Amino acid sequence: MDDIGDPLKMTDISARADDLSPRTPRPARGRRRRIVPAVIAVGAAAAIVVLVINLLNGSLFFYDASEAVARRAELGTDRFTLLGSPIEGTITKGFDGDETVVAFSVAFDGVDVDVVHFGDPPDLFKAGVPVVLDGAWVHEPAAVDGFVGNETDGWHFASDRMRVKHDNDYKNKSEYDSRVDKANKEGRIVATSNASGG
C-alpha cells in the first residue's frame, strides 16, 4: 500500500493550529459555490422525507388472491394491489374499442380470482409467473369473449396496471439439457439424472 501515500506522514489539520497565529479566512469561493451544495443537501433531505412518508403510507402493498377474497367486504370498491399467479389455459385476449383487454384467472394459496386487465400486459406475462395488479373488485362476472374463468362467485378484479413479479430462478433449459446429454454421452454422469435445471 506504499502506493496510496504515507498515512503516518499526513498531519492532522487540527494539529497545524500552532502555525496559525493570525488565522486568515479562506479565499472566497464565490456565491454559487456556497449555495449549490446547500441547495442539493436540503433538496436531498426533503426528498428523503417525502419518500419515507410515501413508503410508510404503503403506496404499494399487495394482498394475495386469498387475502383479497377474504377481505372483499372490507375492501369494497377501493383500489388495492393484488398478487397472484396466472393459471395455465385461462389467458384470453380481447379488445375494448382500441384498447387491449386480457382476461385470466390468478391463484394464490388455492384461491382463484378472475381478472380483467385493461391495457397491454408486460412482455414477461405468462401463466405461472406471478403478477401484481392495481385495480378494484367489480361485482359482475368477467365479460370477455371466449373467457371462461375459474371463479364463479360473480365477482372479478378489474385492473389497469400490471407488473410481473419475476423470481430469482435463472435458467436456460436447452443449454442445461444439452450439457447433461453431452455429459451422458461422454459417460461422465453414471447415475440416471432427470432433474431439470433450477
Partner 1 sequence: MTTSMTDNAREVSPPATGSRTTFWLGVVSLVGVVALILLSFFVAPEDDDQHDAVRMIFIHVPMAMLTYVAFSLTAIGSVLWLWKRSVWWDTVAHGAAEVGVMFCGLTLFTGSIWGRPTWGTYWDWGDVRLVTTMILFLIMVGYLAVRSLDGDTATLATRAAVIGIIGAVNMPIVNRSVTWWASRRTLHQKSSLTDGKLEGLTLFTMMFGLVVFSIVMVWMLIHRFRISWLERQVSEGDLSEALIARRAEAAVVSSEGGSK
Partner 2 sequence: MTHLGYLLVGWGVSLLVVGLYSLSLVRRGRRLAERVPAERRRWMTSETPSK
The binding site for partner 1 (CB under 8 A) comprises: 3-5, 7, 9-14, 16, 19-20, 22, 24, 26-27, 29, 33-34, 37-38, 40-41, 44-45, 47-48, 51-52, 54-55, 58-62, 64, 83, 121-126, 129, 132, 161-173, 175-176, 179, 197-198
Least spacing, CB of residue 128 vs partner 2, in Å: 19
Compare residues 9 and 185 and give the one whose CB is closer to partner 2.
9
Find the shortest distance in angstroms from Cβ 198 to partner 1: 7
DSSP string covering the chain:
-GGG--GGGPPPGGGGGGG-SSPPPPPP--HHHHHHHHHHHHHHHHHHHHHHHHHHTTSS-EEEHHHHHHTHHHHTT--EEEEEEEPTT--EEEEETTEEEEEEEEEETTEEEEEEEESPPPTT--TTS-EEEEEEEESS----TT---S--SS-EEEEEEEEE---S----HHHHHHHHHHHHHTT---S---PPP-
Nearer to partner 2, 33 or 188 (CB): 33
Nearer to partner 1, 11 or 146 (CB): 11
Shortest distance, position 183 Cβ to partner 2, whole Å: 28
Answer with the entry of partner 2, partner 1, none that 100 interacts with (C-beta below 5 to 8 A by kind): none
Distance CA 146, CA 28 (A): 75
CB nearer to partner 2: pick between 152 and 172: 172
Least Å distance, CB 31 to partner 1, is 10
Closest CA to 66 of 20, 118, 9, 106: 106
Identify what 163 binds: partner 1, partner 2, none; CB under 5 to 8 Å per kind: partner 1
Q: Name the minimum Å distance from CB 185 to partner 1.
A: 18
